Amino acid sequence: MPALPRDLRALAGTCRSAIGRMVVGRGAAGPALSLADQALVSACNFATTIVLAHALGLEAFGLFSTAWIVVLLTVSLQLGLVVCPMISIGPGLPGEAGQSYYAIVLVHEAAFLALAGSAVAVGLALAFGDWALAFAAGAACAAHLAQDFSRRYLFARGRPPVVLGIDALNQGVKLALLVLLARSDMLSPARALEVVAASAVLSCVCAIPFRGRLAWRAGEFGAASRRQWQSGRWLVLTGLMQWLSGYAGLLIAGALLGVTLIGVLRAAQSILGVLNLIRDALENTVPPIAGRALASRGLDGLRAVIGVTAAIGFVGGLSFTALLALTGKSLLAVAFGPDMAAYAWVVTWYSLLFPVSLVSFAQICAFRALERTGAVFAATAAAAALNLALVYPAVRWFGIQGLLSVAITAEVLVCLVLAGLLRRTLRAPSLPLGRLQPA
């Protein structure tokens, strides 16, 4: 084959360089767009909570928050059963194998949506006897799950700009409709849930053209389903335990003290929820660093990364707690009205969870690098057992103070159990990887 003329070879080299720069640019843009998307979602969720709390009042807002806690349980189950395995498995499959796998996952997701939406609707109807609220919650559950799956599916398929677009659409439409209904005095818990469902459905419809190629292979359905379960078995159990630790106590407290309390605690959680942006930023940076440190320098490198992460998280979390102790009252009054200002101490107490949870996060990163996520399940299961055993008598005897004390104690228990298991693991003479599925 004759050689290309010199000017054509130069042109080809220039094209390859340009393509390389485009690839690098896309690689750098992905995390930046992910962080921007999370910032947008966190800010809009905080604004939505403020609108609902002002428009509904404490009791009705507490009823909405109770229904939403049940929806969050289905989100945890979906993460373990469908989403987390998909994110780990899908991007590594080439060509038609990946297209077939994503098609099978979509079938799993459709079945989960139907079951979860029906279960939420029936459960809330039996609990409250309000069929309008129950149907609205079931629809909001299915739509919210579909929207959350869509954004993570698009992340897995390498489309972060589309994720930012559909999230902006979902959050913008939802917030605008809630504000309009609030100004017209037409907002109720059921109507708010209907708005959540409508905006999520619109976002999902707009995501359909960007789903990518799919290929159906019926013979691979069983193998793909088993692989999903093998990857997600510890994660779904961990998610269930985390929900029990985080929200079962709120439901028990609401039954004993009234749903108004749930509204107060939900408002406190929304303020602290802004901190999820920090956790997500660490989620994007610390696990890869820990994995590279383990691969290059062994356990000594892993210890250094985890130690620095835990120290920074603990000191930074305590600093934020001190800041909330000084400004929590005025922050609640501005965000949720003067009625909430009396509960500023709840925000301060809740913020104590943050430094402890960041230390736990550092240790979880170590177990992910070591591919031993069963230890994470063991710690969360121990905390959930403690929470369920103590929360009823604590709330009955000490009220909201008892609930917060149990929540903090359970978070400390997670940290201590992880520390003990990690210390034993790091001292082991040999560490064969892969017995448990990585998170």
- Same domain membership, residue 419 and residue 324: yes
Could you give the C-alpha distances from 124 to 46, 262, 292, in angstroms and in order? Answer: 25, 16, 47
pLDDT value of position 111: 93
> Does 19 reside within a domain?
no
The set of long-range contacts for 79-82, using a CB threshold of 8 Å and a minimum separation of 24, is: 79/235, 79/236, 79/239, 80/232, 80/235, 80/236, 80/237, 80/238, 80/239, 80/240, 81/108, 81/112, 81/228, 81/229, 81/232, 81/236, 82/108, 82/109, 82/112, 82/149, 82/228, 82/232
Confidence (pLDDT) at 275:
65
For residue 353 the two structure tokens come to 């969870």
Q: In terms of domains, do 269 and 312 share one?
A: yes
Would residue 328 count as lying in a domain?
yes
**What are the structure tokens assigned to 380, written together?**
């969360």
Asked if residue 243 is part of any domain, the answer here is yes
State the residue range of the domain holding 190: 30-216
**Taking CA 408 as the corner, what is the angle to CA 405 and CA 412, rounded to the nearest 5 degrees?**
135
Do 192 and 241 have their domain in common?
no
Assess whether 124 and 255 both reside in one domain.
Answer: no
How would residue 106 be classed by pLDDT, with cut points 50, 70 and 90?
Answer: very high
Q: How many CA atoms lie within 13 A of 92 on its CB side?
A: 5
If you search the block for the tokens 């969870």, which residue do you land on?
353
Structure token pair of residue 236: 């779904």
231-272 pLDDT, tens digit each: 667 777 777 777 776 676 677 776 776 666 666 776 676 766
What is the number of structural domains in the chain?
A: 2
Statement: residue 338 has pLDDT above 80: no
Please say if the pLDDT value at position 416 is more than 80: yes
Which pTM does this prediction carry? Answer: 0.66
Query: Per the structure block, which two tokens stand in for 151?
Result: 């954004």
Place of tokens 């098609």: 103
Q: Which of 167, 182, 216 marks a domain boundary?
A: 216
DSSP 342: T
The predicted structure's pLDDT at residue 100: 87
pLDDT band with cut points at 50, 70 and 90 for residue 413: very high
State residue 290's pLDDT score: 75
Q: Among residues of the chain, what percentage have pLDDT more than 90?
A: 20
For 110-114, 148-152, 167-171, 256-260, which range has the lowest pLDDT when averaged over its residues? 256-260
**Computed from CA positions of residues 306, 320, 394, 119, in that sequence, does the dihedral angle turn out positive or negative?**
negative
